[in-house]
Amino acid sequence: MLRTDEVLSTIRMLHAEHLDVRAVTLALNLNDCAGSNPDQLVKKVHNKILRYAGRLVEICDTVGAKYGIPVTNKRIAISPASNLLAGHGVPCALELAKCLDLAAKECRVDLVGGFTALVQKGISAGDRVLLDALPDVLSQTERVCASVNAASRKAGINMDALRALGEIIPAVAQADAANRGFAAAKLVVFANIPEDNPFMAGAYMGAGEPEVTVNIGVSGPGVVDSALKRRIASAREQGKKLTLTDLAEEIKLSSFRVTRVGELIGREVAETLGIPFGIVDLSLAPTPTVGDSIGEILKTLGLARIGAPGSTAAIAMLNDAVKKGGLFASSSVGGLSGAFIPVSEDAALADAVEQKHLVLEKLEAMTSVCSVGLDMILIPGDTPPATIAAIIADEMAIGVINNKTTAARLVPVPGAKAGDKVNFGGLFGHSPVLEVRNVGVSEEFVQFGGRIPAPLQSLGN
């Protein structure tokens, strides 16, 4: 029998603390659509997506209503598009992207991910076509998201790929200059990309996954922050001493509950669609909404300024506790599963950048212990390509050496300088442009190219 306090705490979590199912992502393998005829290729892709994902939104809405929890985003992730592009050219890549865009629109999903190339060890013919097409694809489509895996624990860091991306990322932004380079927000570069990530822009269906599956991304920074605030207030009221150990325990409990919500929704959506359930990604994904912020959690943990000494330790504790709580809640945890710190998508982080409390270098340090990386970082539009490549290389190194996923989603805003404010709207939020220091002095390092070898697997200190 449910207790009254249990019912009320769930109600509070769902309705007052911004808990939602952030993304239900249907992952679909499109490799069987490959062919030498571009028209047939895109027709097969369109038909297959409609066949599997045509009812996704309707079912998500029905299941969400049944449990009284909104499924905020419904999305599609495909197997790497580069697999379909070998032997084709940029025009075919653009046609494929437009087909994905149309199919996503017809399925009423907001984004489709998997315009992806896996180049950690080298760039294949299909990868090259995809990379060359990115400026056109991301500026001429609305819903298509792209990702590039440029490094891995086993392969090292492909500096040739990063050198190319140093040119491609500003080109993508420039191609969408009318929207202040927003197209670059749909491109993310990874080290150790997860095969089952439901979150955009990095969602794609990796090797070893089934033909089709449903992956879930839950959110809940607001739930964690509220739980911490209640615990702290209660201890103060009772005159009890509270330690960070106690607060980590509170985060675990919240993460447990959030994960359970995601798995319940995900399994029912998958069952109704008649396809296997994949994973719950229990990442704390903030939104620009006040009260739904990782930055606010850091403040609750006692850091008056985000970016102050202690910020990295606080993020580390948060990230670890989230994983522990989630893993106890479900045996199907996957994806990124940790705390995101996307600057423009988190109002408190964006504010810390504006106050100059949070700088690029500190963000990089924090990404060494969070679940993703330099996410939604707006940089000056005139940042040299080699500097962009080098920023990404630093981020890749953190992932490769520490055997974790890291990523970089940088938006060089055309014409913007450090401190300029940019508003992308919606979930993408707003942020000042961050200052990039020491620009233009990484050229020689980047121009060497080649591959930074895979790291040692032992002597891990």
Partner 1 sequence: MTTKTDTPSFGYVLSVIAGDKPGIVAGLSEGILRLGGNIESCSQAVLSGFFTLMMTLRFSTDFEPDALAAELLKENGVEGCRIFCSRTSSLPVRPVPESSIFMLTAFGKDRPGVVRVLSRALADKGVNITELYCEKDGKDGFTLIGQVEVDPKDDPRTLLLDLEDIASEYGFTVKLQHKNIFVATNQLRKP
Classified as helix, coil or strand, 460 is: coil
Q: Contacts for 267-274 with beta carbons within 8 Å, 24 or more apart?
A: 268/63, 268/66, 269/24, 269/56, 269/59, 269/60, 269/63, 269/71, 269/214, 269/216, 270/213, 270/214, 272/59, 272/62, 272/63, 273/26, 273/52, 273/55, 273/56, 273/59, 273/214
Binding residues for partner 1, total number by CB under 8 A: 23
Look up residue 19 and give its amino acid: L
Q: How far is the CB of 362 from partner 1 (least distance, A)?
A: 35
Distance, in Å, from the CA atom of 311 to the CA atom of 302, rounded to the nearest integer, reads 10
Nearer CB in complex with partner 1: 3/241:
3
User: According to CB under 8 A, which residues from 237 to 296 bind partner 1?
Assistant: 257, 260-261, 263-264
Give one DSSP letter per residue of 147-189, joined into a string.
Answer: EEEEEETTTEEEHHHHHHHHHHHHHHHHHTGGGTTGGGGGEEE
Q: How far is the CB of 271 from partner 1 (least distance, A)?
A: 13
Interaction of residue 41 with partner 1, rule CB under 8 A: no
Classified as helix, coil or strand, 95 is: helix
Among 47, 51, 58, 66, binds partner 1 (CB under 8 A): 66
Among 31, 32, 65, 207, binds partner 1 (CB under 8 A): 65
Among 30, 33, 69, 446, binds partner 1 (CB under 8 A): 69
Q: How far is the CB of 257 from partner 1 (least distance, A)?
A: 4
Q: How far is the CB of 336 from partner 1 (least distance, A)?
A: 22
Among the residue ranges 64-72, 277-285, 360-368, 436-444, the one whose residues contact partner 1 (CB under 8 A): 64-72
CA 408 to centroid of chain Cα atoms: 10
Interaction of residue 459 with partner 1, rule CB under 8 A: no
Nearer CB in complex with partner 1: 282/416:
282
Nearer CB in complex with partner 1: 9/272:
9
User: According to CB under 8 A, which residues from 166 to 205 bind partner 1?
Assistant: none
Q: How far is the CB of 249 from partner 1 (least distance, A)?
A: 16
**By C-alpha distance, which of 72, 65, 68, 67 is closest to 21?**
72
Q: Are 377 and 349 in contact (CB under 8 A)?
A: no
Q: How far is the CB of 330 from partner 1 (least distance, A)?
A: 8
Nearer CB in complex with partner 1: 143/257:
257
**By C-alpha distance, which of 440, 410, 28 is closest to 215?**
28
Q: Are 450 and 160 in contact (CB under 8 A)?
A: yes
Interaction of residue 11 with partner 1, rule CB under 8 A: yes
- Judged by the rule CB under 8 A, the positions of this chain that interact with partner 1 are 1-4, 6-11, 13-15, 65-69, 257, 260-261, 263-264
